[in-house]
């Protein structure tokens, strides 16, 4: 990380490869390194990303610390379960990788029937043949306003994480577009369950905006994480349209965003 990086024991700020998915992965790694990020979260968007794909050289530029399992076109891998197994095999092969984030299978009846294995699973790391260092987490998705008599979706997801021996990736903008108070929501998540935070802004139903371009209280959100002593990953996950067209401008913007995030995380610690 850069010279202003969060100190030992503090969160590690990652750059999601999805921020710049239109660029070659090696260039994304170089941009992330120049901007001072601790590593990359690699999006599994093609079955060609396998242990033979030369990703170790990219990880030498910017460590691939986290992988995001496929979230569409699962048939290309031979099904949802096989896509998660392929992600795990790749993580096992990358020495710096120690985390995989996954979208829970959908709740529609057709999805539930196809993914009965997920409902029955009690130990996802064991099922997916993960090496001991690899941790898994389920990500909160945008939730429609439910019945006032129904169970809170965040409580349900956290219970599901416990049941399946995984952690939680807290996506701030997903929580925001669901109409939830992101500060109250993050306060409900125990630190031992929180493995990763997907960080971006949102307004209305528009997601993955650069911090400050939406309506979420992101400064206070980071300050609360810092005050609680959170030490996991925080992954900047923006839409490619958030960046200028030139590399220098992109590096400059990412550097400023990273520095601002670190400053908010460490403000309380330095008081």
H or E stretch covering 233 = strand 233-236
What does the DSSP 8-state code read for residue 169? E
212: CB partners within 8 A, 6+ apart: 201, 218
What pLDDT is attached to residue 174? 97
Average pLDDT for runs of 10 along the chain of length 271: 45 97 96 98 94 93 98 88 95 97 75 76 94 96 70 92 97 96 97 98 95 97 96 97 95 98 78 45
Residue from 166, 137, 136, 139 nearest 153 by CA: 139
Q: How many whole angstroms from its chain centre is CA 172?
A: 10
Q: Domain coordinates of the chain in residue numbers?
A: 12-270
Please tell me the distance from the alpha carbon of residue 254 to that of residue 251, in angstroms, as a whole number. 5
Q: CB-based contacts of 123: which residues, under 8 Å, 6+ apart? A: 164, 165
Inter-CA distances, 36 with 5, 39, 43, 206, 214, Å: 8, 9, 20, 27, 24
Q: Which CATH superfamily is domain 12-270 in?
A: Divalent-metal-dependent TIM barrel enzymes (3.20.20.150)
pLDDT digits (tens, 9 = 90+) for 17-63: 999 999 999 999 999 999 999 999 999 999 999 998 899 999 999 99
CA distance 64 to 55: 9
pLDDT value at residue 11: 94
Please write the tens of the pLDDT for every residue from 106-130: 665 556 566 788 888 999 999 999 9
Predicted confidence at residue 146, as pLDDT, reads: 61
The pLDDT of residue 145 is: 67
């Amino acid at each position: 990380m850069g010279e202003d990086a969060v100190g030992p024991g503090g969160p590690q700020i990652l750059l999601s490869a999805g921020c710049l998915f239109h660029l070659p992965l090696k260039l994304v790694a170089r941009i992330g390194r120049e901007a001072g990020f601790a590593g990359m979260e690699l999006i599994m968007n093609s079955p060609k990303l396998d242990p033979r794909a030369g990703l170790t050289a990219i990880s030498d530029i910017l460590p691939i610390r986290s992988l995001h399992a496929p979230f569409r076109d699962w048939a290309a891998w031979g099904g949802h379960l096989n896509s998660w197994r392929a992600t795990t095999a790749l993580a096992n092969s990358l020495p710096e990788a120690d985390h995989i984030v996954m979208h829970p299978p959908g709740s529609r009846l057709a999805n539930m029937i196809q993914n009965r294995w997920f409902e029955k699973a009690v130990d996802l790391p064991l099922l997916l043949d993960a090496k001991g260092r690899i941790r898994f987490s389920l990500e909160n998705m945008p939730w429609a306003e439910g019945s006032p008599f129904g169970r809170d979706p965040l409580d349900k997801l956290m219970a599901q994480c416990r049941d399946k021996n995984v952690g939680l990736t807290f996506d701030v903008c997903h929580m925001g577009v669901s109409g939830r108070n992101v500060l109250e929501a993050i306060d409900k998540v125990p630190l031992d369950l929180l493995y990763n935070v997907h960080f971006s802004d949102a307004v209305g139903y528009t997601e993955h905006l650069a911090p400050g371009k939406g309506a979420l209280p992101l400064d206070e959100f980071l300050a609360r994480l810092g005050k609680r002593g959170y030490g996991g990953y925080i992954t900047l996950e923006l839409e490619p349209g958030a960046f200028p067209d030139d590399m220098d401008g992109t590096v400059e913007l990412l550097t400023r965003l990273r520095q601002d995030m670190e400053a908010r995380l460490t403000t309380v610690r330095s008081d």
